[in-house]
Structure 1
Amino acid sequence: MSSPQVRPTTHIGDTRLDRVFGRVNYVVLGAFTLAVLYPLVYVLSASVSEPSALTRGEVWLWPVGLNVDAYKAIWESPRLVTGFTNSVLYTITGALFGTAMTMLAGYVIARHEMPFRRFLTLFCLVPTLLSAGIIPNYLVVRSLGLLNTPWAVILPGAMSVFNVLITRTFYQMNVPDELHEAARVDGANEFATFFRIALPLSKPIIAVNLLFYGVAQWNAWFNAFLYLNDDGLFPLQLVLRELLTQSAVDPSALSGANLAEIMAKKELFDKLKYAMIVVAMIPPLIAYPFVQKHFVKGALIGSVK
């Protein structure tokens, strides 16, 4: 007796149209990857290439020669080292403070029994639609006595409404009301419920907030530009901006006596700009792999749908 023939199962992914669609996706994603990687590789190559090769435009992808004078200048410059230290301080403090405020606010407006929670949500959303502007913000910072202090950089952007909404959605989807009721039956108050039940379940959304606030604070320079006058408090991004504005060579200063010296300084300065960009990129690139797992999970679960 012959065994019955089994007809092969046709999977959706085996169809010709799906294979073509998958290949197109790979091509598009590969193009986006190259578009992101090329500037990074170019900046890194330019920062270690010979200054003369960089000036002549010989650097396209890989380094031409090897010269680390720009990194030596960064290490030996007190102003650049101070700016880097200030940025690290502002980033860590701003990320911790913003995450703490966001977790508390998101947890409160996620509770269904919280009175006026819809009003609180609307109260948070209105400033995102109607901004007061630079001058009123400056007057508020000045009236609080924050001018020319580190808090002028940290507090104005301490909490993002977008992050609060993501955190609220995360709590609504991952901390059911039954847990709150069980904790209340066991005699736990609101603070104990938050710190002992909700917070241990919040590692993904904590990672999301830390990364969002950390990257935003690390790249920020406008608040420091408005509220700081002391060079010793400038973050790295503001120092880098000032270096970029000073990169042009005054044609009136060119003369036969000092032409070679000026051009040499300009070549070193061009390399210094790229080296500063590399230094500014290092901390986010180092931090992201450690929070990637929780970041993806928290961003997907806590996103507003």
Structure 2
Amino acid sequence: MSLLSRNSKFDRWFDILNYTILSIVLLVVLYPLYIVVISSISDPDAVNTGRVWLIPQDITFAGYRLILSDGQIWTGYKNTLIYTVLGTSLNVVLSLTGAYALSRSDLVGRNFFMLLIVFTMFFGGGLVPSYLLIKHLGMTNTIWSQIIPGAVSAYNLIITRTFFQTTIPKEMQEAAEMDGSTITRFFIRIVLPLSLPIVAVMVLFNAVSHWNSYFTGLIYLRDHKLYPLQLVLREILIVNSAPTESAVAGAGDDSSMMRIADIMKFGVIIVSSLPVLVLYPFLQKYFVKGVMIGSLKG
């Protein structure tokens, strides 16, 4: 048997093993999501008794009807959308401009600045000093408490800086300067069009972070009208307080209220996860390329 045929046979077995393992991993990852989807449209009693594990049982959309009619959930949805759009925009602008400045060799003291930035990744003031700072700045119980404190991530800044250093040649900067281009014009006209992969990565990282954030709202917000969707979801899943009680007020006795509350939990998980699931496929190509370039080179 020739070496080529042995290699071909080995490659076939390797592919079979590889696809088998990846298929198992795919099932392990997708099955919990599938269970949540079919549970959200199944009868609560069937879910609680364990009869829902492959196909929906006694299909009902009562949970989704209550979700769509619950004003607090829609308020949380609107707040989260505002926090995500504003926060992501600020994150991306500050990360790109800060990383580009740190990537330039002509920045005086850039190593010192990088040392300060890396220092914040290992040492922090803690929750109490952070809360006192936000309070003294007058940002508690405002939308700015959800946007300003996390405006810059040291990790994202380092990844973006590495991307700029490995993607934008120094010779290109020198050529632009010889043609009379300013740093700002070079950044907007040349650097940004060449940096779509890392821009997509930053948008995805920060958007997902803002969309899933609830802890900052839990700490800094007191007004329920400012609660993000994840905090409303937390109350439904853990505290089971105001949103559930208001939504199921007309459901009848306590057992009926508990049944409807159970089916709402799965529905809210689906509703809150949809935007991220819809956004990711469009950014996947840039996401993979940007992460590889930004984290492995340099």
TM-score (norm 2): 0.92
Aligned equivalent of 2:111, options 92, 99, 118: 118
Aligned equivalent of 1:129, options 122, 127, 138: 122
Q: Distance in 2 between matches of 1:90 and 1:184?
A: 38
Q: Distance in 1 between matches of 2:239 and 2:105?
A: 55
Match of residue 154 from structure 2: 161
Deviations 1:177-231 (A, max 9, x none): 1110111001111111111111111111100000000001111100000000000
Please give the residue correspondences for 1:1-305 in structure 2 after superposition, counting only pairs within 5 Å.
10=4, 13-16=7-10, 18-247=11-240, 261-305=253-297
Q: Distance in 1 between matches of 2:13 and 2:125?
A: 51
Deviations 1:246-284 (A, max 9, x none): 349xxxxxxxxxxx8211111110110000100111000
Change (3 A) 1:14 1:64: same
Deviations 1:80-132 (A, max 9, x none): 00001111111111111101110011111111121111111111111110111
TM-aligned CA deviation for residue 156 of structure 1: 1.5
TM-aligned CA deviation for residue 238 of structure 1: 0.4
TM-aligned CA deviation for residue 235 of structure 1: 0.4
Change (3 A) 1:57 1:104: same
- Bigger radius of gyration: 1
Q: Distance in 1 between matches of 2:96 and 2:75?
A: 31
Q: Which runs of 5+ in 2 are unaligned?
A: 242-251
TM-aligned CA deviation for residue 291 of structure 1: 1.1
Q: Which runs of 5+ in 1 are unaligned?
A: 1-6, 249-259
Q: Distance in 2 between matches of 1:151 and 1:61?
A: 44
Deviates more, 1:50-59 or 1:88-97: 50-59
Change (3 A) 1:50 1:21: same
TM-score (norm 1): 0.90
Aligned-pair identity (%): 39
Q: Distance in 1 between matches of 2:4 and 2:12?
A: 13
Q: Distance in 2 between matches of 1:8 and 1:179?
A: 51
Q: Distance in 1 between matches of 2:182 and 2:50?
A: 66
TM-aligned CA deviation for residue 28 of structure 1: 2.0
Q: Distance in 2 between matches of 1:301 and 1:100?
A: 20
CA RMSD of aligned residues (A): 1.8
Is the 1:55–1:267 contact (alpha carbons within 8 Å) kept by the matching residues of 2?
Answer: no
Deviates more, 1:22-31 or 1:92-101: 22-31
Match of residue 251 from structure 1: none
Q: Distance in 2 between matches of 1:129 and 1:136?
A: 16
Q: Distance in 2 between matches of 1:13 and 1:37?
A: 34
